[in-house]
Structure 1
């Protein structure tokens, strides 16, 4: 596949160049500077290509930098090369005569030899030539070139790196399709918007097979790669640095970020200064410490590959030893242990185990896995094995985790290790291997052994509570979680398990106001054995806020958990799917589809629980925009992912089936699915899901659930169910005014698509009542909201929400009237007679059943979202 890189428009810089070159009353020149790879040459080409002036290009090069007139050799006259004065004069005259009223472009002017630079400075005095000159930021520039902006008054334009959005746009354009946001963020972090680095990373990763397209979405998996061309460029730049600076670069390449005291002790301050002057290392504050990092993306990879194995082992050992002698943050201890693994200095199994525990507690499960495996090889036993197994389980490798967890004889273990083993194995069996009965039996047997150990029983009960919630027994799980939460004997692990069960149960049973406090209280108790539960806590908290209509709080909460999931792709996509569900609740259908589609693609081969959640919401997002085949396909994926024992999501599955049926215009089947979902949810005490199911049926035109929705409005936390009940009751009595009030409540909460459906049903009620004016007003509201939701096509909108019955000319005149123009002013604006305007206005008011001009204007503005 050949990548086609777009030219990203830089309007401000292009305009500045055009103004400078076209100046009539000042210096006709501009100096464009910027870091390597920012696209200066591309900008110069684009800017001059739009000019009607003749253009001559000159380029400074390293090869010709020390040759007199090296950059201008093709423009030299026939005189002796030693007659410098004549040569300067002749070359200047030749360029001037050759380019009457033209432009000379000098690229990489920092590489000009002194005589070429002098000639360039003299050309700046010409009244018939314009100069466009580029230099590289940070490189020494000849004095004659510097004088262009210091003495000659040239405009100076700095070419910046891409902004995040520009980088994302270039990436998607080059790949020819959407890029998942996690991949785009990784690439942005690596390149920091440098166009050159962006191109080499994308092309290198694509060639290495690490950047690939899945389900129409581009994903980066594994470490990014770069092209050989960029690797050679960076290697050359590093080799030019003095030896002390290269020593610093090697140390930082293996240990970044390195605290300044550590680097200073290893290399010395003079070497650090030399590395900074060579622009190979940068120093900045990171939290409470000053740290050194490499100044260029990918330089670390190049340096590490260029160092021989013996030296590499020695460097890793030096850094690890010094980090261990400066006890500091967990991150430093983890890095010290990792560096020791492949160094010339051995480290104890205990040290590796402690580092593995700290890595797991931070959610860095792949790092915890590597350290725990090494600790086991060094002789550590059960503790390292358990950390290893949990790391496998938290990264969706349940079968591998089960092999480790089932190997030891539990009866031969100390009581504490046995309990940890049983909990880890039961959790892995249930959530990763869909082996519910085996998991519950394991917990039951262990609990029967712990008749007098209250702390152990609290732990086992808390895990059982989380399983009960997933089984759909939310009330039972919540009762158990409450008891454990109140128990004075419950250890931190039990409290975290109880909170993860309780937060989700509270969300699904309609008591969501308490869920955020449960989640917040448990986050501070997380250790290595419960690290993965932070995302279960997040799921409960976010869903609780969505179900209670607190959309802004839900968004803030989701972004916080998304940050926590930075090192765990499956959890990241899972939390991202919840944001997509939030987008759908708010009515932002395009955003929901994009986010949920990438989440579903990212979870295609990992965490089945999150995969089911993502596809359930994706099916609804496709359905509300009329994409029936895609909605049906997403439902099928969700069905397979939910499995036999995740009964908590059975009502959601039927709700998604209902929306897929409604999208295919099978309203009767949609209502049946929604009713079945409500019945399942009611049986399990899942009041929030029951309300959502009943309201889906209302949106399909069913009013049978109105009495139950009225009851649920008093039972469920938040303000979202009240307008649901109001809409259901109003629909059953065909009360257009009450439907409008319900729509207004939805709109006030930010639920725009729900508001659109209620307005559409109000329009239908008014139509049957023969109230044409209110029908059109409600239809205009529904139409405007549907457009704002991405042209949604729910059954209510398809049936009742139509655009106002106006011609384009009538709508144009009505909008001008809304802008406070009189009929005479409208006539002047459109070039027609006032009588023509009056005639059109009369037709508009008649069609809209408007009582007066103000009433007409209100209706037209509603349709246009004003």
Structure 2
């Protein structure tokens, strides 16, 4: 598939060329080097097309490399040194006369024959045309080309690959739409920013159907694929490498990344050096370990495709045997996966344990393949339970339930029975919405369990279910009891922590969450590995509700990294990062992240669907996109059920923003109040505080006492300015509202600060304090713009820019900079009297007495 491929401006590189050619040091030239595919030809072509003087192109080719003066359009039959020297002199004179004041652009200079390279060297010496010379890094080049920068002083710089931002810009332009951030990360890492590889990956993955658009966002699913053209190019490089090097390449292709020690057990040192010299394998230190990786993206895919089945099975078997029993879980998983398609298949026990390792690493796809193989080889109940876990975690909940339902737990060991019951009830409740069946299963199993450890596990799972059904206090009480129970096994403690951390964050007791979360370190096993993200959910929310945004971002990104192998968890953690951006007032960033989260697949857990869509709806409503916000709310309502009762108050808050966006502030305040009532009934006091404060932002002037009461139950730094704003709003106290705004601003809650500034402007307007009103409204307007032109009722009602005409604003800025009226008149090419008239009107409009007061007002408008 061929795209209209965009050309991204390499501004820094173009500037470097222009500066080198325009310098006064007489160098009259520049050399551009870079790896194959980095865009050297595109760069120098764009530069040449911008010149308004004669340009002569020279291109080195492999065909002309062995022909003397291959770049000169004449046949050379002589080999006499004297004749060649004369021809060199004549060619140099001809070029200089033809291109006097012009430029010679040379592409692929490393392929020039020695005499053509000498011609360039002569031109550089004689002060003739300017030279722009591009050559490939790592390729042997004629000595005369090397001498251009070593002896002739031509400037030289290296054209690097795209960084992540440039990669995203190219992808967005090529595909004609937004690209999922995780897809950008994968493609940037896979191509290493190489523009050539980037294009071939996009075209190949589009043709294979792996790169597709879902809900307006481009996403890469499955492995990236390259075009046949690039595959043939890489294959050509492999087949022309020495045989010893090809064996190294094959081993690394199947085992990448491969420790040097493991590779050294399979091949000799000379073979590794040969592969490195051929430019096919690179060795680098990662952490404290020396690793072998292929030198080119996609080379592994090409090698694996081109190898016959028997040889591939043998290589996989060699690697599997070498990696088996490794101390690292990831290595054990790789060894087991390699063994499945090798001549040395691992036993059922090894496959089962590797599947458990894969679940712990959140690599559910690998775990499902290994568990299915283990089951087929007689892995028993443990393999069946592991496979069911992988199905439940990869959007195949119904299949998981069928597998678990046919298992007969009669005669099982109690530990297996408890694991089966907890796993099945969790799948029934969170994925299938069958709450009564889930709790009934836990109750019936409890009647068959006799050990304290088994009972604690069942009770902890029930606490997590109770929390999501809205029974907050019951859940926290049970979780806290299990936390301190001596007989509680690690699985019970993990379930208890998953319920406790989330509940405490929503209750406004976030200071208790870190200690509880720390206690779970090292407790996760294969059947509780996903619970670490429930704990993380509580950690991140606790920090957000407390106004500790930098720490919340660090925490969220840590969990995103842990979830990189699992779609459902990654999108869930990404939703929380979207909530953080929303709390900071970064609407554009929040919108992009939440749109990704709502369009991404693999979200079998309805909690994430509800939460992501509600947050997206709030973001859209704040941006004035009410129709799209309504659609997001409808998607959230479609996913609502017994397992998402915890988010009923959040739904009410979101609906209040939709009502506010339609201009019905009375209804908006009523919805926010009812959301606060519902949250308080469940004991979710942090959510209740958010709902009450939302009503304050809509203009409710009867919330001071309620937020004051909530401030005694909700911890953190955010509740204080919320309370201050509510009390000041009741009293129409402009300075009190300014104080709240300043506190929000200090915490990094720009949008909350903008609303408080806007409300203070309205309060000052009612008292006739024109100067204070303008200062507050200007600051509100500035913050709203920084948030992405947010459209809240307070900002729309009271905030605005300085009430100056464009010319008055220009004069005001210059006057605030301490320029005299005469200097301003000279700058603007007007009379001094005209400037004096503008200054008079500015003072009257802004109610300032002098330039010092004017400077304060301008500073308020432009402050970050």
TM-score range, shorter chain: over 0.9
Shift of 1:96: 3.2
> Which residue pairs with 2:335 in the alignment?
336
> Which residue pairs with 2:386 in the alignment?
387
Distance, in Å, in 2 between the alignment partners of 1:856 and 1:31 is 52
Which stretch shows the higher mean deviation, 786-795 or 77-86?
77-86
Select the residue among 819, 830, 833 that pairs with 2:831: 833
Select the residue among 606, 613, 619 that pairs with 1:608: 606
Shift of 1:607: 3.7
Which stretch shows the higher mean deviation, 650-659 or 798-807?
798-807
Asked if the contact 1:469/1:501 (under 8 Å) is kept, the reply is yes
Shift of 1:532: 0.8
What SS class does the counterpart of residue 241 from structure 1 fall into? coil
Distance, in Å, in 1 between the alignment partners of 2:602 and 2:334 is 32
> Which residue pairs with 1:187 in the alignment?
187
> Which residue pairs with 2:727 in the alignment?
729
Select the residue among 461, 464, 467 that pairs with 1:463: 461
Q: What's the CA shift string for 1:413-465, capped at 9, x where partnerless? A: 22111111000001111111111111011111111222x41111111111111
Asked if the contact 1:32/1:157 (under 8 Å) is kept, the reply is yes
Residue 761 (str. 1) matches residue 735 (str. 2)? no
The aligned runs of 1:20-31 (5 Å cut-off) are: 20-22=20-22, 25-31=25-31
Asked if the contact 1:35/1:137 (under 8 Å) is kept, the reply is yes
The aligned runs of 1:129-140 (5 Å cut-off) are: 129-140=129-140
Asked if the contact 1:81/1:87 (under 8 Å) is kept, the reply is no
Select the residue among 672, 676, 691 that pairs with 2:689: 691
> Which residue pairs with 1:368 in the alignment?
367
Shift of 1:17: 2.3
Shift of 1:371: 0.9
Residue 302 (str. 1) matches residue 302 (str. 2)? yes
Q: TM-score, normalised to structure 2's length?
A: 0.97
Asked if the contact 1:79/1:86 (under 8 Å) is kept, the reply is no
Question: Are residues 764 and 44 of structure 1, via their aligned partners in 2, closer, same or farther at CA, if it must alter by over 3 Å?
Answer: same
Distance, in Å, in 2 between the alignment partners of 1:366 and 1:331 is 14
Select the residue among 718, 721, 726 that pairs with 1:720: 718
Q: What's the CA shift string for 1:389-434, capped at 9, x where partnerless? A: 1111122321111111111112232211111100000111111111
What SS class does the counterpart of residue 134 from structure 1 fall into? strand
Distance, in Å, in 2 between the alignment partners of 1:836 and 1:684 is 66
The aligned runs of 1:474-489 (5 Å cut-off) are: 474-489=472-487
Distance, in Å, in 2 between the alignment partners of 1:234 and 1:312 is 18
The aligned runs of 1:323-722 (5 Å cut-off) are: 323-324=323-324, 327-450=326-449, 452-603=450-601, 606-722=604-720
Which stretch shows the higher mean deviation, 341-350 or 207-216?
207-216
Distance, in Å, in 2 between the alignment partners of 1:347 and 1:700 is 64
Distance, in Å, in 1 between the alignment partners of 2:616 and 2:19 is 50
Distance, in Å, in 2 between the alignment partners of 1:13 and 1:789 is 33
Distance, in Å, in 2 between the alignment partners of 1:79 and 1:18 is 39
Asked if the contact 1:581/1:592 (under 8 Å) is kept, the reply is yes
Q: What's the CA shift string for 1:21-41, capped at 9, x where partnerless? A: 345652322221111111111
Q: TM-score, normalised to structure 1's length?
A: 0.97
The aligned runs of 1:138-157 (5 Å cut-off) are: 138-157=138-157
Shift of 1:93: 3.8
> Which residue pairs with 1:117 in the alignment?
117
Asked if the contact 2:567/2:602 (under 8 Å) is kept, the reply is no
Q: What's the CA shift string for 1:234-286, capped at 9, x where partnerless? A: 11011111000000000000011111122112111100000011111011122
CA RMSD, aligned part only? 1.8
What SS class does the counterpart of residue 489 from structure 1 fall into? coil
The aligned runs of 1:272-311 (5 Å cut-off) are: 272-311=272-311
Question: Which structure 1 segments of 5+ residues have no match?
Answer: none
Shift of 1:533: 1.1
Asked if the contact 2:701/2:730 (under 8 Å) is kept, the reply is yes
Asked if the contact 1:603/1:611 (under 8 Å) is kept, the reply is no
Shift of 1:342: 0.3
Distance, in Å, in 2 between the alignment partners of 1:564 and 1:828 is 62
Question: Which structure 2 segments of 5+ residues have no match?
Answer: none
Distance, in Å, in 2 between the alignment partners of 1:833 and 1:769 is 38
> Which residue pairs with 1:46 in the alignment?
46
> Which residue pairs with 2:246 in the alignment?
246
Which stretch shows the higher mean deviation, 271-280 or 96-105?
96-105
Distance, in Å, in 2 between the alignment partners of 1:77 and 1:233 is 32
Shift of 1:227: 0.9
The aligned runs of 1:79-94 (5 Å cut-off) are: 83-94=83-94
Shift of 1:825: 2.5
> Which residue pairs with 1:105 in the alignment?
105
> Which residue pairs with 1:55 in the alignment?
55
Number of aligned positions between the proteins: 862
Which stretch shows the higher mean deviation, 832-841 or 478-487?
832-841
What SS class does the counterpart of residue 410 from structure 1 fall into? coil
What SS class does the counterpart of residue 124 from structure 1 fall into? helix
Which stretch shows the higher mean deviation, 239-248 or 5-14?
5-14
> Which residue pairs with 1:169 in the alignment?
169
Q: What's the CA shift string for 1:532-560, capped at 9, x where partnerless? A: 11111111110111111111111111111
Select the residue among 764, 772, 775 that pairs with 1:774: 772
Question: Are residues 643 and 154 of structure 1, via their aligned partners in 2, closer, same or farther at CA, if it must alter by over 3 Å?
Answer: same
Distance, in Å, in 2 between the alignment partners of 1:90 and 1:137 is 31
Distance, in Å, in 2 between the alignment partners of 1:20 and 1:802 is 47
Asked if the contact 1:76/1:87 (under 8 Å) is kept, the reply is no
Question: Are residues 312 and 480 of structure 1, via their aligned partners in 2, closer, same or farther at CA, if it must alter by over 3 Å?
Answer: same
> Which residue pairs with 1:35 in the alignment?
35
Shift of 1:69: 3.1
Distance, in Å, in 2 between the alignment partners of 1:115 and 1:856 is 70
Q: What's the CA shift string for 1:491-517, capped at 9, x where partnerless? A: 111111111100000011110111122
Q: What's the CA shift string for 1:800-855, capped at 9, x where partnerless? A: 11222221222222222222223333223222333322222222222222244323
What SS class does the counterpart of residue 383 from structure 2 fall into? helix
Distance, in Å, in 2 between the alignment partners of 1:645 and 1:78 is 84
> Which residue pairs with 2:271 in the alignment?
271
4+ runs of 1 displaced by more than 4 Å?
22-25, 77-83, 603-606
Shift of 1:177: 1.8
Distance, in Å, in 2 between the alignment partners of 1:758 and 1:146 is 65
Asked if the contact 1:65/1:112 (under 8 Å) is kept, the reply is yes
Shift of 1:9: 2.4
